[in-house]
A and B are shown apart, each in its own frame.
Chain A
Amino acid sequence: MLHNKSFVKKTRAGKVMKQVREHYLRDDIYCGAPFCTVCDTSGARLNASPSTTILVVDTNVVLNQIDLLENQAFDNIVVLSIVLEEVKNKNMAVYNRIRALCSNSTKKFYVFSNEYHRDTYVKEMSGETKNDRNDRAIRVATQWYQNHLGGAVKVLLITNDRENKRKASEEGIFAETVESYVKSLDQPDLLDLLVRPASEDVNMEEVEDLRPSKRKVIYSEHKPMSEITSGLHRGIYHQGKLRVNRYNPFEAYVGRESIGDEIVIYGRSNMNRAFDGDVVAVELLPQDQWQEVSSLSIAGEEDENEDEDVHLAPNSADVAPRTIPQQGSSGQVNAVPNRPSGRIVGIIKRNWHSYCGSLEPMPMPAGSGGIAHALFVSKDRRIPKLRIQTRQLENLLDKRIIVAVDSWDRQSRYPSGHYVRTIGEIGDRDTESEVVLIENDINTRPFSSQVLACLPPLPWLVSSEDLSNPIRQDLRHLLVFSVDPPGCKDIDDALHCHALPNGNFEVGVHIADVTNFVHPGTPLDDEASQRGTSVYLVERRIDMLPKPLTEDICSLRSDVERLAFSVIWEMTPEADIISTRYTKSVIKSSAALSYVEAQARMDDSRLRDPITTDLRNMNSLAKKMRLRRIERGALTLASAEVKFQIDTETHDPLDIGMYQIREANQMVEEFMLAANVSVAEQILKSFSLCSLLRRHPTPTREMLEPLLQTAAAVGLHLDVSSSKALADSLDHAVGDDPYFNKLIRILATRCMSQAVYFCSGDLSPPEYHHYGLAAPLYTHFTSPIRRYADVIVHRLLAASLGISKLPSVFQDRLQLSSIADNLNYRHRNGQYAGRASVELHTLIYFRKRPTDTEARIVKIRSNGFFVFVPKYGIEGPIYLTKSGKGNGEWYVDEQQQKIKRMDGSLSYSVLQTVQIHMEVVEPQPNRPKLQLTLI
């Protein structure tokens, strides 16, 4: 079966070295056509009917028109291994997409390993370039298909390479360009998906004058790669990933914030066509050009003046708008701006992908042959507008669509792109929810059959093997119960507490034993690892694990036997932990309580039943634990969590209000924190280098600056030297009104960054610290149904107890770190999505209900201020002057954080209470937004 053919391969960098590699040519590579009479058809993927044309695609088609290939109109395609190889060398992202297409069972894409087939392998001829040789290989393979399958089947080569097409025609191969093939399909909207070469001369008068004579250079040229490399070497340029401010697209950062080597880039021309996420080379500007953002308002650029939207009040620095610390809070006025600014001289790696958004409203153009040029506005404000061409403008104007970026040349203000697909109508709840999910890269596809095949058959019951398993303790006799939000179906934790004869308490936290069903390396595990977390939108939940697991097999529901992983402490009545043990167990929960029910039981002094007694005992222990935690310096931060009441039929929000936190919530939270801490200690003891932990970095002084500034303006001194000091000063921050303390806490919370997962081997022990909880060690153990981090921690804990062996990923620190990175990414995106969903529902709620309410000023701007609406947990701008106009009437007193009228008749200061009116307006058709005005 082996045919040996050694051949000479090219050289390595620097030295010329002859390399000989074997290359085996085979006769067991099949054509993939199910109707073939010669080949083994067991792995065939192509269309079963010989009458469908088989397409062979050229490399340039895959590289440039991948969106088109992903469309369902494109099918029955042979992808040659040489094409895959070339694509892989040129663009990894596209390679992953074409690979996904090839393994997608609903598509008929077949990979033909032409490079290893003895009849289709071609040897490089002397004088032939590699490119020519590969083109020839593609033609030979196409020809082979035609000969192999006979004249009854049409084999068509799709190529955009003119030379390749010409040669193909000479050799008697049917070949067409993508354009002509798409045209022949007679589906006009497919044409929108086509990527047009940048050189195409189009008349873009409606959008922007692009005629060569009128085209002026807007952006400076990108430096050639060689110059960038040498510049980086000599230290004139700095390399880094560009991060565009989520709330101000004209401001971006390069470099690491934490180390303080961050360079700010102001304005589109300095950003020089770079996108968020691109790896760029930056040149520092001379110091006299370092801009200080004293103009407080958003740095609008002529035609692109964007208003700040009303949004959900941030709950951490990661989602809060970045504020540049201003001079003056400490009293000293510094004339020289000290934040280095720069401009981008080159782009090292693009991070272009496709974006969700809508077309900018425009009149229908008359008589342009159906082709219209439109501007696309991304939902993600960090992305500039995109120019696209469409034949279905009328259709698209009121739709949410996805558009991919193709190119951005120096002469155009905006990059150009092409239409990919339509999501739905703007403002429609389902469409907007889908936009939220797509924007945050959340996988909502149903679980594949391979994943579902990993589930145990239903109905699932605890088996006698489980009970007799020596690693599993039978805890069914314990009075276990769960306390969760009402209507919770994926119950991953339950508790028990009973008094011991010696006066101490035995307290147990029982967590769903997910790893008993999710085994490492299975498709189910891979999928969960990719998803990372369940995502909670207002009206739906996107699960990390399939429903049978989350709602039935793993869920610790009442009155059924379930497998659990238990942490059991012996505690003194003073809540001191005397001993901790960990065991896999079988439990039978006797009640699934909601927070409200649990609270009501504890409050009702007539009740004396065992569950209520246990609840009261636990509550008293939890209170002591909580107190001790706060004494240690844990921050009790506040965030404004909003709750909707949703109409069961229309899924529209009926009522909106703040989420009420009861003692029962805090009780459960306290025991979960304790379990997480205990588990963190246990796993780190056994696996000091490969444990997955969670840390919360100490906020830098710079991050806390906005808080200090606001506090100083109202005469409050906050000590931020340590979390303990900050916690104490927050406790002492009492103002005239009861809400003042909460407001300060809310402002403090949004200055903190979020906690992150990390691999213990990547950092040194002092860095493991969790600032917010004031704990030296912390991890996530208690929610394995909805967080993958907990699944990993379960495996670590089981291995540390000798119950199972450690899966092989843990031996690979790099892989573990990349898992931690993915979890952080997914976690953050899940939160963004949740918040965006709340914002969406807030908008829908207020659409029919203009409301007057009370708000607090949280930030002063040059032309108005930001208010926080406590009742609805949202934040938004109130303009005192019309946007775009000067602000002559008003001036800002930075020291005191006040905005005053020139004649002194009126002034607003930070934290002041104002009465506002909230109403949904539509400044442009189909673009509703919530507007706040002063009454």
Chain B
Amino acid sequence: MEYVSPEGLRLDGRRPMEMRQIRAEIGAVSKADGSAIFEMGNTKVIAAVYGPREVQNRSQISNHALVRCEYSMANFSTGDRMRKSKGDRRSTEISLVIRQTMEAAILTHLLPRSQIDIYVQVLQADGGTRSACINAATLALADAGIPMRDLVTSCSAGYLNSTSLLDLNYVEDSAGGPDVTLGILPKLDKVTLLQMDSKLPIDILETVMQLAIEGCKAIANYIREILLENTKQLEYRRGV
């Protein structure tokens, strides 16, 4: 199968190094302490954050904040509209991945004896849901005013037809090639998440990773803009 034409165009018309169109919106769930919608192409994810609040289960109290995460997929998020069972292996795994990634960014020691709940739901799936969830969670955490070391942003990259491709969509993702999901702290230049479930020669992995890092940085810039815009609006509303 030809995923990149000799003219250098992918099936959806992008070039190998291009990301899909991204869009973000802060404050989609007014009840939550912080929330955001994040879109990467046709992948659409909503995140809501509650906290910091008092730890519900007293046995879990510690001098660091407790971060919990729940990931789910809406029944209407894929074409077949099948009932998505909660707590299956895949969603448990993704919940864990998101929790660990966010935990690495949150300054948990500043919030002892408290807990933070992150809920993410996929509204529409078209590849790269993991990355979109992390990006949405970052925005929601920022919206909730939770102290963080840096924004965490995530982006995926793959390798098909001997070409590194940024931000795989569903069709490219199902090609069965390597798919690297990367999460970074852009300002600190640190990697907090690296996932890949196939084989890739080490030198190629490096170029693919480099591409994913570029993607993460671009997303970070966009997220920063959105936050700035949001702050400006808040200032305006408060009449500063």
Q: Which residues of A approach B to under 8 Å, CB–CB?
A: 1-2, 4, 6, 15, 17-26, 81, 99, 102-103, 111, 113, 115-116, 521, 805, 808, 811
For residue B132, give the distance in angstroms from its CB to the closest CB of chain A.
Answer: 14
In the complex, chain A residues whose CB is within 8 Å of the CB of B11: 21
B196 within 8 A of A: no
A342 vs B12: C-alpha distance when bound (angstroms): 48
Q: Establish whether residues B14 and A24, one from each chain, have CB atoms under 8 Å apart when the complex forms.
A: yes
Task: Indicate whether A4 sits within 8 Å of B79 (C-beta atoms), given known contacts A24-B12, A113-B9.
Answer: no
Task: Indicate whether A111 sits within 8 Å of B7 (C-beta atoms), given known contacts A19-B79, A24-B14.
Answer: yes
B189 within 8 A of A: no
For residue A86, give the distance in angstroms from its CB to the closest CB of chain B.
Answer: 14
Residue among B6, B12, B126, B201 making CB contact with A23, cutoff 8 Å: B12
A6 vs B43: C-alpha distance when bound (angstroms): 12
A102 vs B5: C-alpha distance when bound (angstroms): 12
Task: Indicate whether A811 sits within 8 Å of B199 (C-beta atoms), given known contacts A20-B42, A23-B12.
Answer: yes
For chain B, residues 124 to 155, give those with C-beta under 8 angstroms from any C-beta of chain A: 126
A19 vs B78: C-alpha distance when bound (angstroms): 9
In the complex, chain B residues whose CB is within 8 Å of the CB of A15: 80
Instruction: For the A-B complex with A24-B14, A808-B204 known, give 12 more contacts whose Cβ atoms are closer than 8 Å.
Output: A2-B20, A6-B42, A21-B12, A21-B171, A24-B12, A26-B13, A102-B6, A111-B6, A113-B5, A116-B13, A521-B162, A805-B201
For residue B24, give the distance in angstroms from its CB to the closest CB of chain A.
Answer: 15
A26 vs B18: C-alpha distance when bound (angstroms): 12
B156 within 8 A of A: no
Name which residue of chain A comes closest to B14, CB basis: A24
| Max chain B C-beta neighbours (<10 A), residue from A4, A15, A81 | A4
In the complex, chain A residues whose CB is within 8 Å of the CB of B12: 21-24
Q: Establish whether residues B21 and A2, one from each chain, have CB atoms under 8 Å apart when the complex forms.
A: yes
For chain B, residues 211 to 234, give those with C-beta under 8 angstroms from any C-beta of chain A: none
B41 within 8 A of A: yes
Q: Establish whether residues A22 and B199, one from each chain, have CB atoms under 8 Å apart when the complex forms.
A: no
Q: Mark B166-205, 1 if CB is under 8 A from A, else 0.
A: 0001010000000000000000000000000001010010
Q: Establish whether residues B79 and A18, one from each chain, have CB atoms under 8 Å apart when the complex forms.
A: yes
A15 vs B13: C-alpha distance when bound (angstroms): 27
A805 vs B199: C-alpha distance when bound (angstroms): 14
For residue A159, give the distance in angstroms from its CB to the closest CB of chain B.
Answer: 23
Q: Establish whether residues A99 and B14, one from each chain, have CB atoms under 8 Å apart when the complex forms.
A: no
Interface size on B, residues (CB 8 A): 22
Total A-B Cβ pairs within 8 A: 55
In the complex, chain B residues whose CB is within 8 Å of the CB of A116: 9, 13
Task: Indicate whether A103 sits within 8 Å of B169 (C-beta atoms), given known contacts A18-B79, A22-B41, A808-B201.
Answer: no
Task: Indicate whether A22 sits within 8 Å of B6 (C-beta atoms), given known contacts A17-B79, A17-B80, A811-B199.
Answer: no
A785 vs B63: C-alpha distance when bound (angstroms): 70
Q: Is the interface of A mostly helix, strand, loop or mixed?
A: mixed
A22 vs B10: C-alpha distance when bound (angstroms): 11
For residue B207, give the distance in angstroms from its CB to the closest CB of chain A.
Answer: 13
Task: Indicate whether A25 sits within 8 Å of B13 (C-beta atoms), given known contacts A2-B21, A99-B6, A103-B6.
Answer: yes
A116 vs B126: C-alpha distance when bound (angstroms): 20
In the complex, chain B residues whose CB is within 8 Å of the CB of A24: 12-14, 21
Name which residue of chain A comes closest to B19, CB basis: A2
In the complex, chain B residues whose CB is within 8 Å of the CB of A99: 6
**Shortest 7 CB-CB contacts between residues of A and residues of B:** A24-B13, A116-B13, A17-B79, A22-B12, A4-B21, A22-B41, A808-B201
In the complex, chain B residues whose CB is within 8 Å of the CB of A808: 201, 204
For residue A183, give the distance in angstroms from its CB to the closest CB of chain B.
Answer: 33
7 residue pairs of the A-B complex, CB under 8 angstroms, read A2-B14, A4-B41, A18-B79, A24-B14, A111-B6, A521-B162, A808-B204
For residue B82, give the distance in angstroms from its CB to the closest CB of chain A.
Answer: 11
In the complex, chain B residues whose CB is within 8 Å of the CB of A103: 6
Q: Mark B18-31, 1 if CB is under 8 A from A, else 0.
A: 10110000000000
In the complex, chain B residues whose CB is within 8 Å of the CB of A17: 79-80
A906 vs B188: C-alpha distance when bound (angstroms): 101
For residue B124, give the distance in angstroms from its CB to the closest CB of chain A.
Answer: 8
For residue A141, give the distance in angstroms from its CB to the closest CB of chain B.
Answer: 14
A21 vs B80: C-alpha distance when bound (angstroms): 15
Residue among A20, A22, A111 making CB contact with B20, cutoff 8 Å: A22
In the complex, chain A residues whose CB is within 8 Å of the CB of B42: 6, 20-22
A811 vs B18: C-alpha distance when bound (angstroms): 29
In the complex, chain A residues whose CB is within 8 Å of the CB of B80: 15, 17
Name which residue of chain B comes closest to A17, CB basis: B79
For chain B, residues 1 to 60, give those with C-beta under 8 angstroms from any C-beta of chain A: 5-7, 9, 11-14, 18, 20-21, 41-42
For residue A835, give the distance in angstroms from its CB to the closest CB of chain B.
Answer: 38
Q: Establish whether residues A81 and B79, one from each chain, have CB atoms under 8 Å apart when the complex forms.
A: no
In the complex, chain B residues whose CB is within 8 Å of the CB of A4: 21, 41
A21 vs B173: C-alpha distance when bound (angstroms): 13
A521 vs B203: C-alpha distance when bound (angstroms): 14
In the complex, chain A residues whose CB is within 8 Å of the CB of B162: 521
In the complex, chain B residues whose CB is within 8 Å of the CB of A521: 162
Name which residue of chain B comes closest to A121, CB basis: B13
A113 vs B15: C-alpha distance when bound (angstroms): 12
Q: Establish whether residues A113 and B7, one from each chain, have CB atoms under 8 Å apart when the complex forms.
A: yes
| Max chain A C-beta neighbours (<10 A), residue from B7, B14, B20, B126 | B7
A543 vs B7: C-alpha distance when bound (angstroms): 32
A22 vs B19: C-alpha distance when bound (angstroms): 12
Q: Establish whether residues B5 and A81, one from each chain, have CB atoms under 8 Å apart when the complex forms.
A: yes
For residue B126, give the distance in angstroms from its CB to the closest CB of chain A.
Answer: 7
| Max chain A C-beta neighbours (<10 A), residue from B11, B13, B79 | B13
A21 vs B79: C-alpha distance when bound (angstroms): 11
For residue A294, give the distance in angstroms from its CB to the closest CB of chain B.
Answer: 52
Name which residue of chain A comes closest to B203, CB basis: A805
For residue B58, give the distance in angstroms from its CB to the closest CB of chain A.
Answer: 47
A808 vs B200: C-alpha distance when bound (angstroms): 8
A66 vs B172: C-alpha distance when bound (angstroms): 31
Task: Indicate whether A81 sits within 8 Å of B126 (C-beta atoms), given known contacts A22-B20, A811-B199.
Answer: no
For residue A811, give the distance in angstroms from its CB to the closest CB of chain B.
Answer: 6
Name which residue of chain B comes closest to A521, CB basis: B162
For residue B204, give the distance in angstroms from its CB to the closest CB of chain A.
Answer: 8
For residue B180, give the distance in angstroms from its CB to the closest CB of chain A.
Answer: 16
Name which residue of chain B comes closest to A103, CB basis: B6
For residue A163, give the distance in angstroms from its CB to the closest CB of chain B.
Answer: 29
In the complex, chain B residues whose CB is within 8 Å of the CB of A102: 6
Name which residue of chain A comes closest to B2, CB basis: A88
For residue B159, give the distance in angstroms from its CB to the closest CB of chain A.
Answer: 10
For residue A80, give the distance in angstroms from its CB to the closest CB of chain B.
Answer: 11
In the complex, chain A residues whose CB is within 8 Å of the CB of B126: 20, 22
| Max chain B C-beta neighbours (<10 A), residue from A2, A17, A22 | A22
A21 vs B20: C-alpha distance when bound (angstroms): 12
In the complex, chain B residues whose CB is within 8 Å of the CB of A1: 18
Q: Establish whether residues A2 and B5, one from each chain, have CB atoms under 8 Å apart when the complex forms.
A: no
For residue A353, give the distance in angstroms from its CB to the closest CB of chain B.
Answer: 22
Name which residue of chain B comes closest to A15, CB basis: B80
In the complex, chain B residues whose CB is within 8 Å of the CB of A811: 199
| Max chain B C-beta neighbours (<10 A), residue from A15, A115, A116 | A116
A4 vs B40: C-alpha distance when bound (angstroms): 11
Name which residue of chain B comes closest to A812, CB basis: B199
A300 vs B238: C-alpha distance when bound (angstroms): 100
A793 vs B171: C-alpha distance when bound (angstroms): 36
In the complex, chain A residues whose CB is within 8 Å of the CB of B21: 2, 4, 24
| Max chain B C-beta neighbours (<10 A), residue from A2, A26, A111 | A2
For residue B76, give the distance in angstroms from its CB to the closest CB of chain A.
Answer: 11
A24 vs B20: C-alpha distance when bound (angstroms): 9
Q: Mark B63-92, 1 if CB is under 8 A from A, else 0.
A: 000000000000000011000000000000
Name which residue of chain A comes closest to B170, CB basis: A21
Task: Indicate whether A23 sits within 8 Å of B7 (C-beta atoms), given known contacts A2-B18, A4-B21, A808-B201.
Answer: no
For residue B109, give the distance in angstroms from its CB to the closest CB of chain A.
Answer: 41
A25 vs B42: C-alpha distance when bound (angstroms): 15
A23 vs B199: C-alpha distance when bound (angstroms): 30
Q: Establish whether residues B169 and A22, one from each chain, have CB atoms under 8 Å apart when the complex forms.
A: yes
Name which residue of chain A comes closest to B20, CB basis: A22
In the complex, chain B residues whose CB is within 8 Å of the CB of A25: 13
